[in-house]
Amino acid sequence: MRRVIPLTLAILMSAAAIAAAEPQLGDDLATCRDRQAEFQARAQACDNLLNADRVTGKDKGLALSVRGNALLNKRDYVHAIETLSMAFDLDPDNVVTLNLRGLAHERSGKDDLAIADYDLALQKRPTYGVPYNNRGVIQLRRGALQSALDDFNLSIKYAPKFLLGWTNRARVRTMMKDFDGALADFAEAEKIDPAAPQVAGNRCITYGLMGRFDQAFADCNGLIEKQPKNAFALNNRADVSMMKGDLDAALKDYNAVIQINPNNVRAHCGRGQIYERRNDLAQARADYRAAAYSLTNYDEVDVAHARAIAQQRLAALTPQAPAGSDGRRVALVIGNGAYRNVHALPNPPRDSKLIAGALRDVGFQTVISVNDLTRDKFFESLQTFANEAEKADWAVVYYAGHGFEIGGVNYLVPVDARLAADRDAETQAVALEQVLAAVGAARKVRLVILDACRDNPFAPTMQQTLSLKLVDKGFSNIEPGAGFMVVYAAKHGETAMDGDGGADSPFSTALAREIKEPKVEIRKLFDIVRDDVWSATRHVQQPFTYGSPPGREDFYFVAGR
């Protein structure tokens, strides 16, 4: 028999439960409001309040601001901006929220919106030191050294214990060749935190530019001993070796960085300069391309400088088209299906064979068709293809196989990849930037086609060790540079379908058919492919295109009959 509880007793029990819960909510509110609390505990407390919907007004704005900061730390900038905007609407006077939203805009590559937020925060509180520093970083990246110095001066004036204000002013003073002033700033930063890596890492460069190489290496070596995989310190030590004229030592450090992170802009730029000095121009161009065509929206100051050098040197070293070469087209077609550590894919080898045949049929002079590439073979194939692309007007890469995004970086998956944790992606997979660098050697059309928007096969067992937003399906949105076209078989968050009963996939079938049609301009062609796939899959899969070829010409797979 079910026990019946009297109504009065039920009300009393409910009231007791609420009373028991109130202390927890009170504790969470106190922790959420406490700016001195440990951040993870504070973030959890604010989340508890928001999830329970027990906070309103400025307290809700504060809780959302803390959540936005947590999203910012995870590099989930889209949701960080959304959350911080809601926080600002609830409490327009919270200048910390404005500063955080500025950072999220800045790291999304939207410097103008970032400066607008920093300016508004400073308008509301002119003595808030942190936004001066953040605005100064943008000015420094833009090369406006005096404006950057002015902002860092104000940051230090109003936030004398803010370490980054001191180290950033030291960096701009170094660029202005005020070395004594820079060393004085590093000394002040050291008083705030003697172990801060920003001090030794940056002072290493200052000493190097002064020709005080023993002190420069002492700073960089000390930091690298503590953090052997610190790419910033390794790059700085390599730069100092370059200043000293020790190219072998510099090359060793740049190679070490590229081993840790194959997409590191500074290391590729530095290594390109070494190869250029040694007259290995093909390798120099390859490194400059890797640096010039990276997809990062946000660059630190040193990265922006390295990218600019790479772009300049690449333009200077790129061979002019030889007489009679107009219209040369080359392609690399990859089908990865025989995966060793995750489930195999039967379709990619078939799809790649279909596409390779279609490209040959429409007159591509060179079509390199390869299947089941290990990571080493993948890089080798890209290097070989880049050499071909340098002599061509069109360079096309088609890839079918596993692909995924981690932390905003898109990866293609070699057949020998083994990802026990998210951090393994850099050393086990191949970033899309490497493919863009290969096609970037071509003079006109630079096209990458990715029939790879499949679920991340490693997601069920992959350990999350990075503070990043992980995506286990498909690729992320990208913004390729001018003159590049990247076509995904399925748009972000969708999965590319395989063919039924051993048939080719809907995307490869449509692509192979449409590229043989005469007089269809390349931009329209991929619109037609999109519509064909959308119809064939009954509105399940929709291809998506980013970027475009040069705008002043029309380009055709088949010009006409």
Answer yes or no: is 499 within a domain: yes
Q: In 452-522, which ranges are E strands?
A: 470-471, 484-488
pTM confidence score: 0.77
At how many degrees (to 10) do helices 179-192 and 163-175 cross?
A: 170
* pLDDT tens profile 475-486: 666 667 667 899
Domain tally for the chain? 3
Nearest to 46 by CA among 15, 69, 74, 77: 69
Q: What type of residue sits at position 505?
A: S
Whether residue 377 sits in one domain with residue 307: no
Whether residue 342 sits in one domain with residue 310: no
Whether residue 228 sits in one domain with residue 291: yes
d(CA 465, CA 228): 18
> Quick one: tokens of 169?
């002013």
Whether residue 120 sits in one domain with residue 195: no
What is the reported pLDDT for 320? 66
Whether residue 351 sits in one domain with residue 477: yes
Ranges 114-123, 181-190, 431-440: which has the least confidence: 431-440
Whether residue 490 sits in one domain with residue 364: yes
Distances (CA, A) of 449 to 299, 434, 438, 469, 549: 26, 14, 13, 25, 13
Q: Which of 281, 296, 317 is the last residue of a domain?
A: 317
Q: Which one has a higher pLDDT value, 191 or 467? A: 191
* pLDDT tens profile 140-173: 988 899 999 999 999 999 999 999 999 999 999 9
d(CA 397, CA 355): 10
Answer yes or no: is 149 within a domain: no
Check which CATH number belongs to the domain holding 203 and give it.
1.25.40.10
Whether residue 517 sits in one domain with residue 369: yes
Residue owning tokens 């927890």: 24
224 lies in which domain range? 176-317
d(CA 494, CA 548): 22
Whether residue 382 sits in one domain with residue 526: yes
What is the reported pLDDT for 97? 97
Q: Which of 259, 287, 317 is the last residue of a domain?
A: 317
Whether residue 286 sits in one domain with residue 344: no
Whether residue 204 sits in one domain with residue 93: no
* pLDDT tens profile 389-411: 988 999 999 999 998 887 778 88
d(CA 105, CA 86): 15
Chain mean pLDDT for the chain: 88
Question: What is the SS3 assignment for 335-385?
Answer: ECCCCCCCCCCCHHHHHHHHHHHHHHHCCCCEEEEEECCCHHHHHHHHHHH
Cα–chain center distance at 552? 30
Determine which helix (DSSP H) or strand (DSSP E) holds 246, and give its type and residue range. none
What is the reported pLDDT for 312? 93
* pLDDT tens profile 421-456: 777 888 889 989 899 999 998 989 999 999 985 567
* pLDDT tens profile 55-90: 999 999 999 999 999 999 888 888 999 999 999 999
Answer yes or no: is 131 within a domain: no
Q: What are phi and psi of 455, to 5 degrees?
A: -60, 145
Whether residue 357 sits in one domain with residue 242: no
Whether residue 399 sits in one domain with residue 279: no
Answer yes or no: is 525 within a domain: yes
Answer yes or no: is 47 within a domain: yes
Q: Which of 283, 317, 351 is the last residue of a domain?
A: 317
Answer yes or no: is 186 within a domain: yes
d(CA 381, CA 391): 16
Check which CATH number belongs to the domain holding 359 and give it.
3.40.50.1460
Residues facing residue 335 across a β-bridge: 371, 400
Answer yes or no: is 230 within a domain: yes
Answer yes or no: is 244 within a domain: yes
